Structure 1
Amino acid sequence: MLRLALADLWHERVLFLCSVLGCAAVLAPLIVLFGLRQGVVAGLRAELLEDPRAREVVSVVNRTLEPALFERLAADPRIAFLVPRTRALSATIVLENPARPGSGLRVELLPTAAQDPLLPGRSVADADELVVSTTALERLGLRAGEPVLASIPRLRDGQREALTLPMRVGGVAPLSAATRDAAFAAVPVLLLVEDFLDGTVGPDARPVSEDLARTRPFAGFRLHATRIEDVPALDREFRLAGIEVASRAEAVAGLLRLDRNLALLFLALAGAGGAGYLISLGVGLWAQVERKRRDIALLSLLGLKRRALLMLPVIQAVAVALAGAICAFAVAAAVAGVLNRAFAGTVAGDRPVCLLTAAMGLGAAGVTLLGAMMASVLAGIRAAGVAPAEGLAEG
């Protein structure tokens, strides 16, 4: 039956070619549109994902946040990283290069912990380590692994005091994590600085253990969402709870809206165009069966079973769909190349504006084949219903 169906297509190759071109004319623009959606949205998403602050949510107002809140946040599967922070006014420290006495540099003190997304591949293993920004290290003349003196001055009862901590540069913070002079330290270090400035500890105090530090209230937090899609929901929930936060929620929400709108546009165009083509294909196959009723009746008279006659239009529809899908993807690939060259570097950096993949081509072919088989079922049923006697009657 396969050979017979293909031979019939070859016999009417002009009609077959027209059907293939019709399929490609409908499918090629849909593939290009889908490729544009993938390219633009994927490019914008990649730009956000490459920015370590895209998934960051930071509280911006000092409040008293109890340890129970941090326990609940740590148990939330939408949160991949969480670290508490102290008051902003007490989060500063003076760093000094031991080889250059008197060359102190005041930097912002930021909290960090293991697997900090802002510091990929860098971590503060002990309370005597700091991850320092590139600009601060250049001003101090220090490199990773070298010692550094950290001091916190205060004025108490008219006396000037200073808490001095001998520390080590454990790593260099990338520019994406800190564009200004800053140093990342373990939470106990930030608590010690805050307590010293509050006057609750003396100049000889040292950081407590990490576990003990986490049992205290904090003024705020810094967290990173597990997925970029979780940022708007987390931002909204914190604001509803009365906690003011700063995040990229608006940019992420805009990207998600663009993705949804492009998806709806694609589905609308694909639905309208695909339905129209499948209807025309089904009608054409039905008309072809009607035109060849005598030939089909003779085949039935010669012993072909109804199942074989049913498969005749189906096989031909699959052949048209497969050839049309190949032709459409070739045309779409050529159009995508033109678009990518025309819009290079203007929409999504160095990423393609129209992104086509082999998986996309296979998916388009699969959907087209399925639709063609569904459109050919009625014609196949009509072919299987042709009585053998019709061949004799017309003969």
Structure 2
Amino acid sequence: MDSGVSQRLRVFGLAAAHLKHEWVLTLCLVSALAAVLAPLLILMGLKEGTIETLRDRLVQDPVYREIRPAITRTFDKEWMEQLQSDERVAFLTTTILPASSMIHLVANGTDAELIDLVPTADDDPLLLENDGAIPQEGECVLSNEAARRLGVKVNESIVARVTRSRGGRYETVEQDLRVKAVLSSRAGSLARVYTPLEFVVDVESYKEGRGVAARGWAGQSSQPYMSFDGVLVLSQSMLDPVLRTGLVVNTGLLKADPMDSEAFASLTGLSLPDGWYPYNLSIPAGSVNYSSIEALKRKLRGREALLIPYVNDLILQLPEKELAIVGLSINTDWAEKLAWPALPWGQLSATALESTRLMQILLPGDDVSVGTSLMATFYGASPVTFPLKVVGAPSQVKRALVPIELIGMLRTARDRAVVYQAETDDLVLQRAGFRGFRLYARNIDDVPSLVAQLRGQGLEVVAAVDAIERIQVLDRGLTQLFWLIAVLGVVGASAVLIASLYAAVERERKDLGVLRLIGLARKDVFLFPVFQGALIAMLGVALAWGGYSLLSEVINRVFGNELSDGQAICRLPAGYPWLAMLATLTLAIMSSLIAAWKATLIEPAEAIREE
């Protein structure tokens, strides 16, 4: 072993032996230090234990992490996706209108119970943290109160009965559901049934009068409405400015501009015979609906004029090629007058919208035989794919021709989601947006900031912000109180150690002089009070920790009945003993520096003079 290290160990042994020799004084110093540290450890344990217990109760109860809108409004898909991508959000699912969320549940032949229907999805913390599970299609999860009312248990079956009033009569459909789980009472006291969002949306659709083909629930068609970018007016006589101005009055249109034949051909792909005058009626920002076309028909009554609604920028993707497309619906007489292809589907109609008439296409060239069914994808709005039947003789027009009613429906996909439903062979208009949401933050500390963000967007929400902020205020207050008392304790302990170690050096001048006389170096004498301070600190921390452990156990036993398993009123994290030891050692060594410096001033001659 290095001689320097062995010398330090001998000095440490001398310091320890000296403290043992003066054990009464050492005991007093250790007790004084422990008397300062033990209350600090108890106070910190109470702070950590109490706050952690309160936080656990909030964190473990998802109700305190829930945020929901206070009022009903429509939320678009993009907004919901942006909110869901926030790292503070642990779970988000949409909800439906409160008026549509009540259904009747029947079990074991008992009377029907009116229960609140709530959508859920994967990772729903309210279910997963309250003895629940995520239901799949044909399954449900019941709240404790709902299960009590129905008298059912897990794996039993219930019947969901959905009713509505339509056309002056009541209609009812039923759906069998298997109870996958029953939530603990902590999940809430209300009677609720949790099912996948798809079932909840279907219930809402049925109650609003629409049919749900996938479940066999009859109702009105959810066919998309028609919308257009503008309307072309073809006339064999020029329209004077006064008449053109009249065409935009009370029709929902804002502009009526004359066109030339080239502009008409560029827009529609159709050539215009001589003697015809085209006009473009449109809205600079917005869509033209069918009521505007009806209003134009009334204004042009008595004139030989043709109305052709149009939609810009639609592309048709067929299995083998991509085509520009134009929507056109005219009768045979107009087709002959304009020398355009005869159209099997006939003229524009707002009532003849069955798929057998609309799902047709007239192709240029003769690449595909008549009667062939092609899977077509339309781009220019949200992409929609469905089969089209090839009809008619090959067209000389370079663009594919389809009914304008179909194009009008597809154009609506720019504003509302439109999908093809194979079960009914029809286009279906999806819901415009979501009427609410259930949101759970990842942590209770994220709730206030999320609430502030949503309220900043003008959305009033409901959340347990007050309870969370009270915990945060209590945490800050206890922290400030602890550090105030800790500072006072540190000052007192430092004063005690400085005075005691300095007095010990003064009292031991003769002994230290003798040690210097027999060859102890000045730096070794310097370490003598430092080692003593470190030993006193370690003994003081050990005694304080023993006192804390004993008293904290008493506190936790007294309040044990109020706590859940794993919770404690007074508890410190595992690393705190070493932190307390390190902090106390640092304090003791710093306090011993004055005494150490004083010890280095003692000369060996002082021991001779003393003799």
TM-score by length of structure 1 reads 0.88
Aligned counterpart for 1:234 among listed residues 443, 446, 450: 450
2:598 is the alignment partner of 1:382 = yes
Instruction: Give the conservation status (yes or no) of the 8 Å contact 1:55–1:247.
Output: yes
How far residue 263 of structure 1 moved from its aligned partner, in angstroms, is 0.9
What is residue 492 of structure 2 aligned with on the other side?
276
How far residue 250 of structure 1 moved from its aligned partner, in angstroms, is 0.8
How far residue 153 of structure 1 moved from its aligned partner, in angstroms, is 0.9
Instruction: Give the conservation status (yes or no) of the 8 Å contact 2:202–2:212.
Output: no
Residue identity (%): 34
Distance in 2, Cα, partners of 1:295 & 1:205:
102
The letter for the 1-side match of 2:116 is: E
How far residue 225 of structure 1 moved from its aligned partner, in angstroms, is 1.2
- Where 2:93 maps in the other structure, the secondary structure is strand
What is residue 16 of structure 1 aligned with on the other side?
26
How far residue 352 of structure 1 moved from its aligned partner, in angstroms, is 4.0
Distance in 2, Cα, partners of 1:30 & 1:56:
36
How far residue 26 of structure 1 moved from its aligned partner, in angstroms, is 1.1
2:245 is the alignment partner of 1:29 = no
Distance in 2, Cα, partners of 1:293 & 1:141:
88
CA RMSD of aligned residues (A): 2.7
Identify the structure with bigger relative contact order (alpha carbons < 8 Å, sequence gap 6+): 1
Aligned counterpart for 2:506 among listed residues 281, 290, 300: 290
Q: Which moved more, 1:357-366 or 1:26-35?
A: 357-366
What is residue 75 of structure 1 aligned with on the other side?
85
What is residue 209 of structure 1 aligned with on the other side?
none
Alignment of 1:213-252 (within 5 A): 217-252=433-468
Instruction: Give the conservation status (yes or no) of the 8 Å contact 1:39–1:355.
Output: yes
What is residue 258 of structure 2 aligned with on the other side?
none
How far residue 382 of structure 1 moved from its aligned partner, in angstroms, is 2.9
In structure 1, stretches of 5+ residues that fail to align are: 207-211
- Where 2:127 maps in the other structure, the secondary structure is coil
Distance in 2, Cα, partners of 1:44 & 1:358:
19
- The 1:217/1:307 distance shift into structure 2, 3 A limit, reads farther
Aligned counterpart for 1:179 among listed residues 189, 199, 206: 189
The letter for the 2-side match of 1:135 is: E
How far residue 173 of structure 1 moved from its aligned partner, in angstroms, is 2.6
How far residue 23 of structure 1 moved from its aligned partner, in angstroms, is 0.6
How far residue 196 of structure 1 moved from its aligned partner, in angstroms, is 1.8
Instruction: Give the conservation status (yes or no) of the 8 Å contact 2:164–2:171.
Output: yes
Distance in 2, Cα, partners of 1:318 & 1:168:
68
- The 1:32/1:143 distance shift into structure 2, 3 A limit, reads closer
Distance in 1, Cα, partners of 2:82 & 2:603:
73
Distance in 2, Cα, partners of 1:168 & 1:39:
42
Residue-by-residue CA offset, 1:130-185 (whole Å, 9 max, x unaligned): 11223333443433333332221111111222233233222223222242321101
- Where 1:119 maps in the other structure, the secondary structure is helix
Instruction: Give the conservation status (yes or no) of the 8 Å contact 1:118–1:176.
Output: no
Q: Which moved more, 1:374-383 or 1:66-75?
A: 374-383
What is residue 106 of structure 2 aligned with on the other side?
96
2:174 is the alignment partner of 1:164 = yes
Residue-by-residue CA offset, 1:315-354 (whole Å, 9 max, x unaligned): 10111111112222233334334444555546x5785433
Alignment of 1:1-395 (within 5 A): 1-97=11-107, 100=109, 103-120=111-128, 122-201=132-211, 204-205=216-217, 217-340=433-556, 343=559, 345=561, 352-355=568-571, 359-392=575-608, 394-395=610-611
- The 1:106/1:253 distance shift into structure 2, 3 A limit, reads same
Instruction: Give the conservation status (yes or no) of the 8 Å contact 1:60–1:220.
Output: no
Instruction: Give the conservation status (yes or no) of the 8 Å contact 1:317–1:373.
Output: yes
How far residue 108 of structure 1 moved from its aligned partner, in angstroms, is 0.3
Distance in 2, Cα, partners of 1:58 & 1:49:
17
- The 1:74/1:4 distance shift into structure 2, 3 A limit, reads same
Bigger helix share: 1
Residue-by-residue CA offset, 1:214-266 (whole Å, 9 max, x unaligned): 99621111111111211222222222322222222111111111111111101
What is residue 332 of structure 2 aligned with on the other side?
none
Aligned residues: 387
Distance in 1, Cα, partners of 2:114 & 2:468:
34
Residue-by-residue CA offset, 1:292-335 (whole Å, 9 max, x unaligned): 33432332332222332221111101111111122222333343
Instruction: Give the conservation status (yes or no) of the 8 Å contact 1:113–1:123.
Output: no
